[in-house]
Chains A and B, each alone.
Chain A
Amino acid sequence: KAGVTQTPRYLIKTRGQQVTLSCSPISGHRSVSWYQQTPGQGLQFLFEYFSETQRNKGNFPGRFSGRQFSNSRSEMNVSTLELGDSALYLCASSLGGTRHYEQYFGPGTRLTVT
């Protein structure tokens, strides 16, 4: 089976712009979670989607949003970018249900905000 894929892998944006990141889960996986990883804060949970519904959201401002499509692919959007949004954004997919926390991660999108 193909793993989790994320596009693009690298992105450079300027402050004030917006960005959309994409995640394609492993075939058959219905849950997609997004995480932000920075050297200072480590890996922090952004949100989780299952069957197109957001079930949980981390402690991030409303500039961070996401959605999931009927084929389980997910996108996250960050509006009005700030320098502090520079990070590695990781998505993870899982089957859900009793195996929800057995998450498989994509390679990440490295976002640099200048």
Chain B
Amino acid sequence: SQELEQSPQSLIVQEGKNLTINCTSSKTLYGLYWYKQKYGEGLIFLMMLQKGGEEKSHEKITAKLDEKKQQSSLHITASQPSHAGIYLCGADTGSGYALNFGKGTSLLVTP
């Protein structure tokens, strides 16, 4: 089974609406990394969370890591078409120099 589960798999929201993407791990997270990917391109680093309860924001995107360090959420406020893409969470679960990734959440923002 997948170590990291992302939900939802896909999301279509109207411009201006808020949305949340979740990332749940079956193992303790030593670090959680959010990336954004445009279709067929490389990943763009968004944010890193390492401490339980940590919350970080950049522009209209906020990411949180829960106290038990097994779940993270990514929240986008007042979505814009530029937010469209695939959001991936990557986790350090202590497996040695490798990031384990969720399968991604595809986001489409409609006018």
User: CA of A33 to CA of B100 in the docked complex: distance in angstroms?
Assistant: 12
Q: What number of B residues sit within 8 Å (CB to CB) of A?
A: 23
Point out the residue from B31, B95, B102 that lies within 8 Å of A42, measured CB to CB: B102
Taking a contact as CB atoms closer than 8 A, the residue among B33, B40, B41, B95 that contacts A103 in the complex is B33
Inter-chain contact A108/B102, CB cutoff 8 Å: no
Determine the interface band of chain A, counting residues with CB < 8 A from chain B.
Answer: 20 to 34
A13 interface residue (CB < 8 Å to B)? no
**A80 contacts the other chain (CB 8 A):** no
Interface majority SS on A: helix, strand, loop or mixed? Answer: strand
**A-B CB contact pairs (8 Å), 15 listed:** A42-B102, A42-B104, A43-B88, A55-B97, A56-B95, A90-B42, A90-B43, A92-B43, A101-B90, A101-B99, A103-B45, A103-B99, A105-B44, A106-B42, A108-B40
Chain B interface (Cβ within 8 Å of chain A)? Answer: 31, 33, 35, 40-45, 48, 88, 90, 92, 95-104
